[in-house]
Amino acid sequence: MLEPGCGSGRYLEALARRGLEVVGIDSSPVMVELARRRLAKSSLPGEAVLDDMTDFDLRGSFDGAVCAIATIQHLAREELGRHLSCMARHLAEDSRYMVQLALYDPSRRKDLPSSSWEESRGDLSLRIDWTTEEVDLAAGRALQRSRIEILAGPRQGQVVVEDHAMTAWTPETWGAGIAASPFAIDRVFDGAEEPPVPVEEHATGGLIWHELRRGAIER
């Protein structure tokens, strides 16, 4: 299983615990090192590689891939084709690539994705708020903001706020990007439900999963 944009390796660890051989790639040296430490600490087989998800060349072929929590929205529209071409070269024919992203409905501009949750580990407790501040569908851009408040622990009371420039996709622009690639959309799921439920192909929302099928590649 291949995970582009693996970050600190949370998904790599979860998949490895289910008996899968995992490889992740990320462009951040810090994240790659964290992912390697996570796998090593858990004594799980797997690998994290420092690489660009629009231009990478790994050994061997993979039976499947996953790209979660809107990671793919860090790619600009013109970068999506290069990424999908790289993914297709690394995936076996008829394999699946699970991609999670936010899809915007042009007729409901005020219905913008947001989420809030709390996490605790040891004596550390956090509250995380993720909001969509601005969306320009014509330009394909969205400004999202993360706010992390430390509720308990050595740095209690500290707040970290970061802005993230993301690509804004509609079902139409996303569908066109997939149609121009070696992949086809097989099924779509709403990840806001637990477990995710199948929805129609043009569904919108902040946690939409697309199950992409890798077709034959002309040689």
What's the pLDDT band for 114 if we cut at 50, 70, 90? confident
Model pLDDT, residue 109: 65
pLDDT of the residue at 144: 94
| 2-105+169-214, CATH topology level | Rossmann fold (3.40.50)
Mean pLDDT of the chain: 94
pLDDT digits (tens, 9 = 90+) for 63-105: 999 999 899 999 999 999 999 999 999 999 999 999 999 999 9
Residue 218 has pLDDT above 80, yes or no: no
Per-residue pLDDT at 219 exceeds 60 = no
**Local confidence band at 107 (pLDDT 50, 70, 90 cut-offs):** confident
Instruction: List the CATH code of the domain at 114-167.
Output: 2.20.25
Share of the chain above pLDDT 70, in %: 97
Percentage with pLDDT > 90 across the chain: 89
- Could you tell me the pLDDT band of residue 192, with boundaries at 50, 70 and 90? confident
Residue 143 has pLDDT above 90, yes or no: yes
pLDDT band at 112 (very low <50, low <70, confident <90, very high): confident
- 12-71 pLDDT per residue, tens: 999 999 999 999 999 999 999 999 999 999 999 999 999 999 999 998 899 999 999 899
pLDDT higher than threshold 60 for residue 193: yes
For residue 164, the model assigns a pLDDT of 95
Q: Where are the domains of the chain?
A: 2-105+169-214, 114-167
Q: Which of 61, 15, 30 is nearest to 217 (CA)?
A: 61
Q: For residue 87, what pLDDT is reported?
A: 97
